[in-house]
Amino acid sequence: MNIQPRSDSPTDTSSDTASTANSNAMIDQIDLQILDLINQRRAAVQHLCGDGRSRLVGRIAEASARIDGVLNAIPTADDPAADHAITNASKAALLRHVSSICLQSVHQLQAIYLGPQHSYSHLAAIKYFGDATTLTPVASIPAVFDAVAREDALCGIVPIENSTDGRVVDTLGMFVRADMQICGEVLLPIHHSLLSTTPRDQITEVHSKPQALSQCRGWLAKQLPNARLVEISSTAAAAKLASEQKGVAAVASLAAGREYELDVIATSIEDNANNVTRFAVLGAERPAPTGNDKTAILFQVSHEPGALACAMTIFKEQNLNLTWIESFPAPETTNEYMFFIELTGHRDTTEVQVAIEQLQLLAQRLTILGSYPIASVSYTHLTLPTTPYV
């Protein structure tokens, strides 16, 4: 029997081909429009920045905050399914990438970070500066301080505090020994992954930096009770080693896993789901007040009863909130301590100025490390600054 095709069943793909061609042409046209808008944005950035480099780091922070504000200003769609194909996090990443490209095309920015590449410090540097900035790794926290002091780069980035492990001793110690300013901060959520080329039941060693192993100790004890934990210089170095040796797994970021083509054995293995590391941005720039700032101060008072209490009373009297206080031994002394504090407010405001003047009368040593905008973990719940952004 000769069965003829139904009249409504297409016998060729000419209509589909034409539709595909039209769609491709539309996409090409949209891409050209996007590129044209980026060029317009770049021209606006060049006009805004001019030839000066005095506020480049501040402009990076302002750009990030304004991008967050732009996203927060987008009305929520009534349809829950509408506009969810591209998440706000992806939109923020896209806009920050464009912002980084535009600024880098105007001023060739370079920043130093605690390496190696694909470490969490590297991820924090990308979050703050954007991936178009020239980011150069160095081997240690003192090396970051030294490079910025030599003006090898505009600024540097170092870890200063973790929500699980507390202060980063090497960083605070460098502030005691070096003349260095803080001009910004970054909050990076830390989500560790177990990475390897070996199946879980054949893993005999888990390598990572001490802090990462500490932050995952409970999970590792439960899931890999027989594996030996081995401390190594960085999470990225652990990932590289896991790619070379059978039976070895690394606790590191997914970015490191992608770089070294490792299998993801498990994700988010940190014991604290809200594990966040705070990074300080080092540089000579002095950010202007934004209305949402903090000030870092390093000081030493006499080793006698009530001296520290008197110092703390100064901030209470000025209605200043201390958000962080750390003590550590003063170098080349016995039973003497330095205090590292952060408080809400900018050094240029009256309340902070009065507090600093009063503290100077008590302190044997006092250094204002800097005032800078308070960072946020994500794009949400930020106010939209009035200053222009790049």
The reported pLDDT for the residue numbered 387 is: 37
pLDDT number for residue 385: 35
Is residue 31's pLDDT more than 90? yes
C-alpha span between 244 and 152 (Å, rounded): 34
Pair type for strands 322-329 and 263-266: unpaired
In the prediction, which pLDDT does 77 show? 53
DSSP at 202: G
| Protein fold of 24-187+275-285+376-390 | D-Maltodextrin-Binding Protein; domain 2 (3.40.190)
Q: Which pLDDT score, from 0 to 100, does residue 187 have?
A: 93
CATH 3.30.70.260 domain span(s) along the chain? 293-373
Q: What is the pLDDT of residue 206?
A: 98
User: Domain 193-273 is in which class?
Assistant: alpha beta
Q: pLDDT tens-digit profile of 126-172?
A: 888 888 888 999 999 999 999 999 999 889 999 999 988 889 989 99
Whether this model's pTM surpasses 0.85: no
Q: Which of 249, 199, 181, 197 is nearest to 220 (CA)?
A: 249
Q: Residue 207 in contact with residue 232, Cβ under 8 Å? A: yes
Helices (H), 216-306: 217-223, 235-244, 254-259
390 pLDDT higher than 50: no
Tens digits of per-residue pLDDT, 319-340?
Answer: 999 999 998 887 777 777 889 9
In angstroms, what CA-CA distances link 168 with 155, 172, 280?
19, 7, 11
* Window from 203-212, 237-246, 295-304 with minimum mean pLDDT: 295-304
pLDDT by residue (tens digit) across 293-329? 999 999 998 888 888 899 999 999 999 999 999 988 8
Q: Please name the residues in contact with 128: beta carbons below 8 A apart, sequence gap of 6 or more.
A: 60, 61, 64, 157, 184, 186, 279, 281
Homologous superfamily, domain 293-373: ACT domain (3.30.70.260)
Cite the residue boundaries of each domain of the chain with CATH code 3.40.190.10: 24-187+275-285+376-390, 193-273
Q: Could you say which DSSP state residue 206 is in?
A: E
Q: Which two tokens stand for residue 174?
A: 């460098």
